[in-house]
Structure 1
Amino acid sequence: MPQDVTGWLVENTSRLDRLTAGGSCQDLRPFGAALAGVRVVGLGEATHGTREFFQLKHRLVRFLVREAGFTTLALEASQSAGRALDAYVQGDDSDPATLLGRLGFWTWRTEEMLALVTWMRTHNQSATSDRRVRFVGIDPQRSGASIMYITDFLRRVAPEEAAATWAALAPLLDARPGGLPDPQQQLRASAERLLDLLTARRAEFTAEVGTAETDAAIHHARVLVRSADLVTLPFDASMFTARDRYMAEAVRAVVDGADGTAEKAVVWAHNGHVSRGHYMPGVPALGWHLHQHYGDAYYALGLLFGAGEFRARRGRTMRRPPVPHRISKPGAGSLEAELAQAVPHNHFVDLRAARTASAEVRDWVGKQYPHRSFGANVPRLIYRLNHSPTVPARDYDGLAYVSTSSCSRPLP
């Protein structure tokens, strides 16, 4: 690494004094300073099963809520089931562990995520109305909660529609993306007819059960339209493209005030989704869409790690439980190795600062590097080779490096 680059990293890197929430936030001030004018922060993760990533992101969420006025946590999880978890955050008496399980992903049913949503609830108990925080899911898959809500709603306001709606949309209860061929697009057409029905009779239904319940039903119907599209697309680039586009639309609906209030949002997802580049070749990432819309008001923070363990499912099956996977220190030439060489401890670096740095530094952040990327499932024997190419200046606005990874802790 050129001396200018090493020197720039040492000078512009902020050491993270700790990863866990609580106590002083002095070491996070440089991160906060980098967010001037930012309305959406994407918090990534190189694995879905690293305890330290979750702990650090919890700490960053607290900081963003308390110090920077962020009021929404948008998670890569079921948009349907997310509403019940938000009700808990707002004070509803529910079991948060059960609600986390209903989000549809084993990745979020952890001690670390439980600690975060419990804190959100506690924060709201004393926060003023304009500083209360809410939880939203942004993924249209796993839409069973929407079907259940709408069926119950129709039984009360339009019972003649309830049975037919259930019969038409029940296939969505257990469907996964790309797993439900629908060449005639009957499923999506059924979801669109439902949305048209609710919209056309909105005044009638509002008079009967109130605005909140009617608006919730319309929200769920919109989710079902997206879900029907997602699960009936082939399991190829078209499906992945639709998923990230729909997640970006869900974030924009919150931030731009489509539901009546403008917000500043934290987006919690994998590095591949929060990246300003592509999730995979030919597939613009969630973060790409947000950057196109918000420009520098969107800030993508990638989280990387050195060595240790993480949890993931082995192979392609969705039935096996996640297990620990060991990983050694990053190989020479990787982005992680470059960062660790200059600054081996836990740290944050604002890549936007490189825009005014020397030519050598701008060249360094503009090159392509391999960096580790592990999803909910990893290959059986060659997972250690799982890397994705990245150009730091193109894909991320900042990076956080955690030297040691340990497994996230599943709830009982």
Structure 2
Amino acid sequence: METLDFQAPVDDLGPLRDIVGGAQVVALGESSHHIREFYQVRHRILRFLVERCGFEVYALEAPFTQGQVLDSWVQGGPGTVEQAAAEGIALSLGQCREMHETLRWIREHNRAAAGPPLRCVGTDLPGSAASPMPALEELAGYLRWAAPEALPVLEEAVRVVRRFDDPVVFAALGRYENIDPGQRDVLTGALSRLMAHMRRLALVQRARGHGAEHETAMWHLRGAYYLDHLHRANAAEGFESASTFRDVYMAESVLRLVEGGARVVLAAHNWHIQRTPTMDSQERLLLPAGVHLAAALGDGYRAIGVTSSLGRTTVLGEPTPQRPQGAWYGAPLPPPAEGSIEAAFSTDRLWTLADLGAARPHIHDAASFRHSRMADYFLDLPVFEAFDAIAHVSRTTGTDHVLERAAS
């Protein structure tokens, strides 16, 4: 491929048709967050899938609850793109020019389109695993007019959540661990009762013409429910294993869109979109969102990993009092490791899209590719099983967000 220009024609991406086929979900990855060229690659592929293949939703690794502002903005809502991206995408992942360009393109596409708008939604837990309070506040707004009898139970949950409510992921996790186990049980019990009550109301609300509002409120509650279990698991077994509650919710959020008839482009980290399970440091089985999507959709799911060979990557620094969420910093890319998929690519092209499914019958040592980048190290995984295609960028740099932080 010869260009990463946002506005250049996408005719060079014709081979994508063979990779995508009739898939209902195409996942676009990245080996690290906040990489300028990965945003650009995903933007160009998104354009092709929307303009040439009829995809209708851009689903992000962003909170479902807070991400509602994105869908509103791309459909002509108020505010600036910077405000929408900062509010709707957690961990600063929307705070860069490349993400702003993508959101502006979607808004302009919707303004000019004659048909249904291209949606832009979040799929992840509230605050991408911080506090469930935003989801519970959305649920409260619904219950006040739809089911006020459930408000006392919601207030039981809110009283406990106030004890660890914090928009900073690490702070919320730490504060939760200081809560008395009995109070944790109060929260879990209240959320369970709310789930049961909402399920019982579903048919009634549909009959009253409020089915869509009920389903949205239910999804906010579902996010709070999974986030509660993530906090419980983190206190018992550590974040690496506990965070897969994010993957369950992300996959279910995408499947909910598919069940509504949409074809979805999912943008998330390579780890989340891979089709194969992995193990944590304690040899516990971990199931990324891509495993759930592949199990549910079979050939209806396509995973395109995005990686690079040269240049710079980013790493998330440890939290500090000044930067409690941590901060993204630039870091050098180590050379491609032996047996890594990155080692198979030439670096004389700007970027390359490789169809692994089509290549596999012609590569006698496909099984030997057992590594792929994860930020500044290599993750062990069977690459030809984990991904349907790889978009390889020869050289990468950090986004303006990372570069400006480095200069400050």
Matched with 1:366 is 367
Q: Percent identity?
A: 28
Matched with 1:245 is 248
Q: SS of the counterpart of 1:93?
A: coil
Q: Deviations over 1:268-300 (max 9, x none)?
A: 111111111135441122111111222222111
Q: In structure 2, what is the Cα distance between the partners aligned to 1:252 and 1:211?
A: 18
Contact 2:339 2:368 in 1 (8 A): no
1:390 to 381, 385, 393: 381
Contact 2:153 2:193 in 1 (8 A): no
Which aligned pairs between 1:2-401 and structure 2 lie closer than 5 A?
A: 16-102=1-87, 103-130=89-116, 132-142=117-127, 143-157=132-146, 161-162=150-151, 165-169=154-158, 171=161, 173-174=165-166, 176=169, 179=174, 180-181=176-177, 185-201=185-201, 210-234=210-234, 235-236=238-239, 238-255=241-258, 257=259, 261-281=260-280, 282-315=285-318, 318-340=324-346, 345-357=350-362, 361-363=363-365, 365-374=366-375, 384=376, 386-401=377-392
Contact 1:198 1:218 in 2 (8 A): yes
Q: In structure 1, what is the Cα distance between the partners aligned to 2:103 and 2:302?
A: 23
Amino acid at match of 1:149: E
Residues 403 and 362 of structure 1: CA distance in aligned 2, closer, same or farther (over 3 Å): same
Q: SS of the counterpart of 1:299?
A: strand
Q: Deviations over 1:160-199 (max 9, x none)?
A: 6546524523517437486535575332321222233344
TM-score calculated relative to the size of structure 1: 0.82
Residues 333 and 144 of structure 1: CA distance in aligned 2, closer, same or farther (over 3 Å): same
Q: SS of the counterpart of 2:9?
A: coil
TM-score calculated relative to the size of structure 2: 0.82
Contact 2:223 2:249 in 1 (8 A): no
Shift of 1:337: 2.1
Q: SS of the counterpart of 1:149?
A: helix
Shift of 1:226: 1.9
Residues 225 and 288 of structure 1: CA distance in aligned 2, closer, same or farther (over 3 Å): same
Contact 1:346 1:401 in 2 (8 A): yes
Shift of 1:400: 0.9
Q: In structure 1, what is the Cα distance between the partners aligned to 2:23 and 2:202?
A: 36
Q: In structure 2, what is the Cα distance between the partners aligned to 1:20 and 1:163?
A: 53
Q: In structure 2, what is the Cα distance between the partners aligned to 1:241 and 1:62?
A: 30
Amino acid at match of 2:354: V
- Listed as ranges, the gaps of 5+ residues in structure 1 are 1-15, 375-383
Shift of 1:55: 0.9
| CA RMSD after TM alignment | 2.9
Greater displacement, 145-154 / 270-279:
145-154
Q: Deviations over 1:13-65 (max 9, x none)?
A: xxx12112222212100122221121111111011021000011011111101
Matched with 2:398 is 407
Residues 238 and 335 of structure 1: CA distance in aligned 2, closer, same or farther (over 3 Å): closer
Q: In structure 2, what is the Cα distance between the partners aligned to 1:190 and 1:156?
A: 20
Contact 1:147 1:173 in 2 (8 A): no
Shift of 1:333: 4.5
Residues 286 and 362 of structure 1: CA distance in aligned 2, closer, same or farther (over 3 Å): farther
Q: In structure 2, what is the Cα distance between the partners aligned to 1:241 and 1:158?
A: 32
Shift of 1:303: 0.8
Residues 126 and 367 of structure 1: CA distance in aligned 2, closer, same or farther (over 3 Å): same
Amino acid at match of 2:138: Y
- Listed as ranges, the gaps of 5+ residues in structure 2 are none
Q: In structure 2, what is the Cα distance between the partners aligned to 1:205 and 1:173?
A: 31
Instruction: Give the number of aligned pairs.
Output: 377
Contact 1:61 1:266 in 2 (8 A): yes
Contact 1:41 1:300 in 2 (8 A): yes
Q: In structure 2, what is the Cα distance between the partners aligned to 1:28 and 1:113?
A: 21
Contact 2:372 2:383 in 1 (8 A): no
Residues 127 and 240 of structure 1: CA distance in aligned 2, closer, same or farther (over 3 Å): same
Amino acid at match of 1:185: D
Q: In structure 1, what is the Cα distance between the partners aligned to 2:214 and 2:299?
A: 36
Q: Deviations over 1:70-98 (max 9, x none)?
A: 11111111111112211222222233322
Q: In structure 2, what is the Cα distance between the partners aligned to 1:280 and 1:107?
A: 26
